[in-house]
Amino acid sequence: MDSVRNTNSFDDKMHTSKRSDSTDRERLLVDEEDAHWSGKKSVRSGPGRWLNIIFVVVIAVVSCLVGIFIGHNQGDSDKACTRRITQHSPVVSHVGLNYHKQQFNGSLLKENIFRQDASPEVDAAWESLGANYRSIRVPAEEAEKSGLAPDQVKINEKYGGGYPANVEGFHHLHCLNLLRQSLYYNYDYYHDLGKGAFTNNDYVVRRHVTHCLDIIRQQLMCTVDVGVLGQVWVHPDHPEPFVDFNTEHKCRNFEEIRDWAQRNQLPETVPNDFLQPPKIGDRVYEEIP
């Protein structure tokens, strides 16, 4: 019986061993097949992966080049605009002109400091804009292309030479400020204060005011704004249209220009011989032009 039992046990072991060997062979075949196909996939995916990488790099480079091109064109556009509509001046060469979008405050009823009645605080606000900046020095080499004639007033060579000149935009602000001071409800305040333009007699003050009025008229006509003013509805109970003065504009870099003009003002007091006397042949007007 023990012999039979041992024989059966041996047969069972042999049967189990055969099944195990068969299973191992099947697994080996499956593993080899997987490895075979995995290798094929790896070989096939290698070039594809590199093509994807190259494609991404090309797109990145092209995007950078397009950005540089657009930025370069924008800079060129600003320069072209400046050359086309602006008289050359040291501001262009030393500061440069660029443009940005800006929303105008066109409120009719809400006042800011520039609209308030005469006071020291209001005067300080207008002064801060550069309304009374002194002249700058235009170097001799920039004079002609800046529109200055050879016989215009020059600074004595021993003080550096060049031409004394005012940045026109700040003269326009000076003129606008004088119109504000001359409003019927401000006039007495400044007349009694007796400073600036109001140190002169009434005849000269009137001529000064009308000069400023006409300068601003010409400037507005020269650079006529072709934007449009839409309308909005007001008064919900009984709606009616009203012009919307709060419009968006393309503006120049005023703050940078103002800072430069402020830093480059000629001294407040200068020697008596600071200006070079006119030479023979220089044009001297019989009266104020």
Cα–Cα distance between 127 and 134 in angstroms, integer? 12
- Other C-beta atoms closer than 10 Å to the C-beta of 89 total 21
**Residue 105 or residue 9, greater confidence:** 105
**How many structural domains does the chain have?**
2
241, 233 contact by CB (below 8 A): yes
Q: Is residue 287 part of a domain?
A: no
Write out pLDDT tens, residues 29-45: 444 444 444 444 444 55
Q: Is residue 288 part of a domain?
A: no
Write out pLDDT tens, residues 187-218: 999 999 999 999 999 999 999 999 999 999 99
pLDDT at 10 over 70: no
- Tokens representing residue 158 in the block: 């021993």
Cα–Cα distance between 134 and 170 in angstroms, integer? 9
All residues at 6 or more sequence positions from 250 whose CB lies less than 8 Å from its CB, including other chains = 99, 100, 101, 102
- 263 backbone dihedrals φ, ψ, rounded to 5°: -70, -25
Q: Coil, strand or helix: which one is 249?
A: strand
Q: What is the pLDDT of residue 79?
A: 66
Write out pLDDT tens, residues 154-176: 999 999 999 999 999 999 999 99
DSSP state of 266: P
pLDDT tier, 3 (very low <50, low <70, confident <90, very high otherwise): very low
Residue finishing a domain among 31, 56, 85:
85
Residue finishing a domain among 33, 59, 85:
85
Q: Is residue 282 part of a domain?
A: no
Q: Averaged over 123-146, what is the pLDDT?
A: 97
Percentage helix, strand, coil, to 5, in the chain? 60, 10, 35
Cα–Cα distance between 225 and 188 in angstroms, integer? 34
Q: Measured between alpha carbons, how far is residue 141 from residues 28, 136, 137, 151, 156 in Å?
A: 91, 15, 12, 14, 15
Q: What is the pLDDT of residue 167?
A: 98
Question: Are 96 and 185 members of one domain?
Answer: yes
pLDDT tier, 67 (very low <50, low <70, confident <90, very high otherwise): low
Residue finishing a domain among 50, 65, 85:
85
Question: Are 60 and 187 members of one domain?
Answer: no
Question: Are 68 and 108 members of one domain?
Answer: no
Q: What is the pLDDT of residue 228?
A: 98
Question: Are 47 and 102 members of one domain?
Answer: no
- Tokens representing residue 267 in the block: 């001294």
- Tokens representing residue 156 in the block: 């004595």
Q: Is residue 171 part of a domain?
A: yes
156, 266 contact by CB (below 8 A): no
Least confident residue range of 80-94, 101-115, 265-279: 80-94
Mean pLDDT of the chain: 85
Q: Looking up tokens 């011989």, which residue turns up?
A: 273
Q: Is residue 289 part of a domain?
A: no
Question: Are 225 and 102 members of one domain?
Answer: yes
Q: Looking up tokens 């400046």, which residue turns up?
A: 82
Question: Are 96 and 198 members of one domain?
Answer: yes
**Residue 40 or residue 232, greater confidence:** 232
The percentage of the chain sitting over the pLDDT mark of 90, rounded to a whole number, equals 69
Name the residue range of residue 103's domain.
Answer: 90-276
Question: Are 99 and 41 members of one domain?
Answer: no
